[in-house]
Structure 1
Amino acid sequence: MWDLEESDLPAALSLSYYFLSTQLKQCFAYCSVFPKDHKFKKQRLIQLWIAEGFIRRNTTRMKEKAGDQYFDDLLHRSFFQHYYGSKYTFVMHDLVHDLAQAVSGELYGRFECGMKSSCNFKETRYSSMNCVNSINRDKNHDQKRLSTLINLGGYFMSHRNCLIDSFGRLRYLRVLDLYKSNIKMLPDDIGDFKCLHYINLSFARDIERLPVLLCDLFNLQSLILRYSGIHELPRGMKYLRNLQHLDVYGCIYLLSMPQGIGRLSNLKTLSEFTVSKEDDGRGIRELKELRQLEGALSICSLQNVIHPLDAREADLMSNPKVDGLTVRWDYSISGNKEVEVLESLQPHTDQLRSLRIFEYSGLTFPRWLMIDLPSYNKLVSLTLFNCCECQVLTPIGKLPQLESLRLVNMMK
């Protein structure tokens, strides 16, 4: 606080920081690893706070609830602000960012290509970077205590193939965030980093596979692969018993889930589940073990369901926290099988706010979309896409909260 008094920062801003709780001060100072004008999402920042151990609660649910409260408190105090009115994107004002840098000390730092860093490598625990050289730039620097390594959102430009040989000096790494990097492969020694809680490879278009040894990371809680180039997931994924968030949304080359995914009983986020043709632990029945799922769930390649009873075993009614459901056939197959499959995938009524159905070719919709539809009284968005064989529309007028309705290629 003495340093703040001697700075050029407005006194009112310094006082606002002074009256924050210890937990909020820590979460706020952490934001200094991002550069000015950096745009961030609420949920991603909360996941980072949890992975760093800043939020101490008995359960993951309690941690996320506390993190949500921390974020809202900082937002209401104007430490964060909406980015040009966006509901889900946030930024920090330049003066607030200066304050975060002033209070963060040597624990936080940023490494940028072509610029001399003012950071003390021996003291820095939380770091962001904008090129791969930041990892391997100087073997003499002591970076072994580094806890966080975050890509700033620009592509690694140092190596054409962007191959990182090793993270060998970073034994205490808890957060590895390579968002929008052009990395092609994680190093084979990734399995040695037992402290890793969070890996983000979203929008890493060039990476196709993950090392098998990644499945040795028994503390891993979040694996974010959103819109990456991943073609397949390691077979040993079922051993990541503490994994809570597996985000594979937009991974268009990923054709099946890892074998035995149902054993990941702590999963809360599973953005997409692609049904396999083989009944070898990758079929739709694996969903019956995932009782902690919440948020949005997309079930794809439903034409691969062998028998409608398999879909019934998925038992989506036992997932009351799923608030968005997408069901998708890759192509239409005429017959009663699709009607039975969709009937078996009835979601819970409590929280469902969004429902999307793609490439469904049944002549009519199942009972829960006809007779029972009024019980989904929180539904605000409904999409029926290319359900071209349906002859009777669901009773949409009985949805009192409906705000968005999309009917595409309803030809009959």
Structure 2
Amino acid sequence: MDQSKITFSGEKASPPIRTKNSWLSSNAKDNDTQLKYFIEYKAESSEHINNLYKFWGVGEIEAYEDMLKCMKSLTRAEDYAIVSQECWDCLVYCSLFPKDYEVDGDTLIQLLMAEDLIMEENPEEIAAAYLRALCKYGEVVSLLKEDYGTGKMWYKMIGFEIPKQVLERSKINPVRVISDTPSSVLIDPIAETKHLHVTLQCLLTKDLQALGKFTKMRTLLLLQDHRANVDCIPCGFFMSLHNLRVLDLSRTKISELPSSIGNATSLRFLDLSETLVTRLPETIECLQNLQTLKLQNCPRLLALPKATRKLTSLRHLDLGTLRRIHSMPAGIGALTYLRTLSEFIVGREIGCCIRELKNMNDLGGKLCLSKLENVAGLDDAEEANLISKQRLKKLELRWTDDEYQEHIGVNHEVISYLQPHTSLQDLRIVCYGGSTFPSWISHLSFVNLRNITIFKCSNCQILPSLGQLPSLESLSLIELIGIRFIDIHFRRNKFNPSAVYEDDQFVAFPALQKLEMKSMINLEIWSNIGRFDLPCLQKLSIKNCTKLAALCELTNMISLEYLELNQCTKLPSLPNQLELMPTSLKTLVIEDCPLLSISCSMEAQDWVESQHSPNLFIYQREEGAEAGAEEQGRRKAGLVLANSKSDSQIACSDSEAQGFLSSEEDSM
């Protein structure tokens, strides 16, 4: 494998170029060689290696391998020359952070890119592979936590020593200042002659003017606990900071950024998240090297600069959710290198409409399209070209509330032309005003679609045939007040001749684990669930469906562990009553269902003893009653019936089930 190396006797070679599609030209022999290397050094289990080849190209595999080799050389204090220069530079950059410093993975990757440490055409993927390898080795950074819902990862810096030989050859100058006060920076003569990376634990606004004199400063970070001390940036602060590449002012109290920011022409990373800024200066157009602009949760932010379209190097624009922006700046479609765009707010003005997305085919991660009622026509929606954005994993389609849609006359056919690529994993539809959903939402080609939320689509009268989706794991249906019946169409598309299956062959919702129905206040009947349907369903929650009078068969839900029925005031009984409930059930919660509670209580004890562990117990608690000693003893592991919402107590069959319920309440 061709690598650039640290020779210590000559010049450094260029970093290796790993192309995004390099796996296309690889052959079995190359893969066998790499696999042999992983097994020899016991870097990962064979199962994990197979996963790497499934989700990574050869470029990422090589990067992972290189970093493992780098760490091995570091611990043995030998063989420095066989390690790629790129790995050493990334390692040295990580050493600039103080011990126990916490940072999210996306930010750390963007910081590595800001120093031009990764020269490949897909630096984000290569950097992510490096971080995975560093975490595996555990001497430099550790994985603090991972949010599987969002895909975000947080890391903690462990703190380590870099050999002098490596520092001397690194393109990252190791001079750094980590201080409680800026005084050590201000008196350090090195700061005037070498590139400087500054991390301050305490900084007052009056000290910023002095820091602005250090023309060699490349990084300025303020630690999280002390950012509130900064409430403004001096007007001329950036006049001499031509070498500044990284500036993190997030969580400070600043309300504006001075126009002198235009002088920081080398700036590649700018984070103003959770500040009070209302606007950015138009001089931001001078930041032609800017790659990352973070504006997460800026509650007073009114608009992005008109010059945003000129930031043609921008790859990551994160707006978060808490801000007052009404539309995107005109011409944002010029930012064709964008890989992260957390939200696109559709406007009606020229240059602000949804067709600006046409050429942004590198967009990945999560994208929210909001104010979709402003889409002018079907041609505009089609030209947005969502179907070509194969890196998108999560998509939210959001309209404004129904009353406003009726007022302006929204064309509800627009959603049919917003079909995403089949690589999508998570779909959320909010306040859609049409009566039916497009056919693409339940198409069999969406083999990666795992999570769907449909929220407050009040005019919807027929649910899409989501049972056809082969990989759907979580489904939430909330405030769909137009739904009266859930029938066989929910399982499969009965109107499509090509989707006809024999009942003994078709399995609806083959991978679904969690199903939530909430505030579907006009739902009366849920029927037509087949005997082999929902084989993996573990959690079923039906809340505030006040007209629900008939429920589908639950007997064949062989994996069901948690069942909650809440405020289903007209539900007279469970299907076949309790005697035929699935034996996998561990937790049953019935709350504010007066007819159902009375019906179940008469045979609950017999059912528990015959179908489940005798340790389980069902009881009904009267409103306002205090739990006595005998009652408390029954709660050790039981199934609960409760009529009082305020006084209901939930006891579960094991601690895991209790946590299941707690996590659900926290998420609401």
TM-score, normalization by structure 2:
0.54
The one of 161, 168, 173 aligned to 1:99: 161
Task: Give the letter for the 2:256 counterpart.
Answer: M
1:83 counterpart = 2:83: no
Distance 1:137 1:77, change over 3 A: same
Distance 1:259 1:108, change over 3 A: same
Shift in Å, 1:16: 5.6
1: distance between equivalents of 2:257 and 2:278? 10
69-78 vs 336-345, greater mean Cα deviation: 336-345
241-250 vs 126-135, greater mean Cα deviation: 126-135
1: distance between equivalents of 2:374 and 2:266? 38
User: Which residue of structure 2 aligns with residue 175 of structure 1?
Assistant: 246
The one of 42, 51, 55 aligned to 2:105: 42
Task: Give the letter for the 1:92 counterpart.
Answer: M
Superimposed CA distance per residue, residues 237-258 of structure 1 (whole angstroms, 9 cap, x where no aligned partner): 1111111111112142111101
Where in structure 2 are the equivalents of 1:223-234 lying within 5 Å? 223-229=293-299, 230-234=301-305
8 Å Cα contact 1:111-1:128 kept in structure 2: yes
1: distance between equivalents of 2:363 and 2:77? 37
8 Å Cα contact 1:361-1:390 kept in structure 2: yes
User: Which residue of structure 1 aligns with residue 436 of structure 2?
Assistant: 364
Task: Say which SS state the counterpart of residue 150 (structure 1) adopts.
Answer: strand
Shift in Å, 1:169: 3.2
Shift in Å, 1:154: 3.1
Task: Give the letter for the 1:348 counterpart.
Answer: H
1: distance between equivalents of 2:477 and 2:232? 44
Distance 1:227 1:155, change over 3 A: farther
8 Å Cα contact 2:241-2:263 kept in structure 1: no
Distance 1:265 1:164, change over 3 A: same
Task: Say which SS state the counterpart of residue 67 (structure 1) adopts.
Answer: helix
Task: Say which SS state the counterpart of residue 340 (structure 1) adopts.
Answer: helix
Superimposed CA distance per residue, residues 357-386 of structure 1 (whole angstroms, 9 cap, x where no aligned partner): 00112111012124xx22111001111011
1: distance between equivalents of 2:118 and 2:206? 28
Task: Say which SS state the counterpart of residue 393 (structure 2) adopts.
Answer: strand
Task: Say which SS state the counterpart of residue 311 (structure 1) adopts.
Answer: helix
Distance 1:84 1:176, change over 3 A: closer
User: Which residue of structure 1 aligns with residue 330 of structure 2?
Assistant: 259
Q: Give the aligned length.
A: 389
User: Which residue of structure 2 aligns with residue 405 of structure 1?
Assistant: 475
User: Which residue of structure 2 aligns with residue 348 of structure 1?
Assistant: 421
1:391 counterpart = 2:476: no
1:109 counterpart = 2:177: yes
Where in structure 2 are the equivalents of 1:105-184 lying within 5 Å? 107-113=175-181, 116=184, 120-122=190-192, 123-133=194-204, 136=207, 139=210, 143-159=214-230, 161-165=231-235, 166-184=237-255
1: distance between equivalents of 2:470 and 2:245? 46
8 Å Cα contact 1:202-1:225 kept in structure 2: yes
8 Å Cα contact 1:325-1:352 kept in structure 2: yes
2: distance between equivalents of 1:273 and 1:176? 25
Superimposed CA distance per residue, residues 95-151 of structure 1 (whole angstroms, 9 cap, x where no aligned partner): xx1436998785122243387559642335222224444883574996211111122
1:218 counterpart = 2:285: no
8 Å Cα contact 2:212-2:241 kept in structure 1: no
Shift in Å, 1:189: 1.0
Task: Say which SS state the counterpart of residue 330 (structure 1) adopts.
Answer: coil
Shift in Å, 1:260: 0.8
Task: Give the letter for the 1:67 counterpart.
Answer: A
Shift in Å, 1:210: 0.4
Shift in Å, 1:34: 2.9
217-226 vs 22-31, greater mean Cα deviation: 22-31
User: Which residue of structure 2 aligns with residue 5 of structure 1?
Assistant: none
User: Which residue of structure 2 aligns with residue 3 of structure 1?
Assistant: none
Q: Which is higher, the Rg of structure 1 or of structure 2?
A: 2
Where in structure 2 are the equivalents of 1:176-195 lying within 5 Å? 176-195=247-266
1: distance between equivalents of 2:436 and 2:212? 67
Distance 1:345 1:249, change over 3 A: same
Distance 1:76 1:17, change over 3 A: farther
User: Which residue of structure 2 aligns with residue 310 of structure 1?
Assistant: 380
Task: Say which SS state the counterpart of residue 121 (structure 1) adopts.
Answer: helix
8 Å Cα contact 1:308-1:337 kept in structure 2: no
Distance 1:330 1:129, change over 3 A: farther
TM-score, normalization by structure 1:
0.85
8 Å Cα contact 1:129-1:151 kept in structure 2: yes
Task: Say which SS state the counterpart of residue 221 (structure 2) adopts.
Answer: strand
Shift in Å, 1:182: 1.7
Distance 1:207 1:16, change over 3 A: farther
Query: Relative contact order (C-alpha < 8 Å, sep 6+): which is higher?
Result: 1
1: distance between equivalents of 2:79 and 2:470? 44
RMSD over aligned CA atoms reads 2.8
2: distance between equivalents of 1:407 and 1:358? 11
The one of 30, 46, 54 aligned to 2:93: 30
2: distance between equivalents of 1:177 and 1:17? 34
1: distance between equivalents of 2:136 and 2:331? 44
Superimposed CA distance per residue, residues 327-381 of structure 1 (whole angstroms, 9 cap, x where no aligned partner): 10121235994531111111111x10010000112111012124xx221110011
Aligned identity (percent) is 32
Task: Say which SS state the counterpart of residue 289 (structure 1) adopts.
Answer: coil
Task: Say which SS state the counterpart of residue 342 (structure 1) adopts.
Answer: helix
1: distance between equivalents of 2:206 and 2:400? 42
1: distance between equivalents of 2:265 and 2:77? 34
1: distance between equivalents of 2:208 and 2:105? 32
206-215 vs 312-321, greater mean Cα deviation: 312-321
8 Å Cα contact 1:108-1:125 kept in structure 2: yes
Task: Say which SS state the counterpart of residue 109 (structure 2) adopts.
Answer: helix
Where in structure 2 are the equivalents of 1:191-340 lying within 5 Å? 191-204=262-275, 206-229=276-299, 230-276=301-347, 278-332=348-402, 333=405, 337-340=410-413
Distance 1:129 1:13, change over 3 A: farther
8 Å Cα contact 1:24-1:74 kept in structure 2: no
User: Which residue of structure 2 aligns with residue 8 of structure 1?
Assistant: none
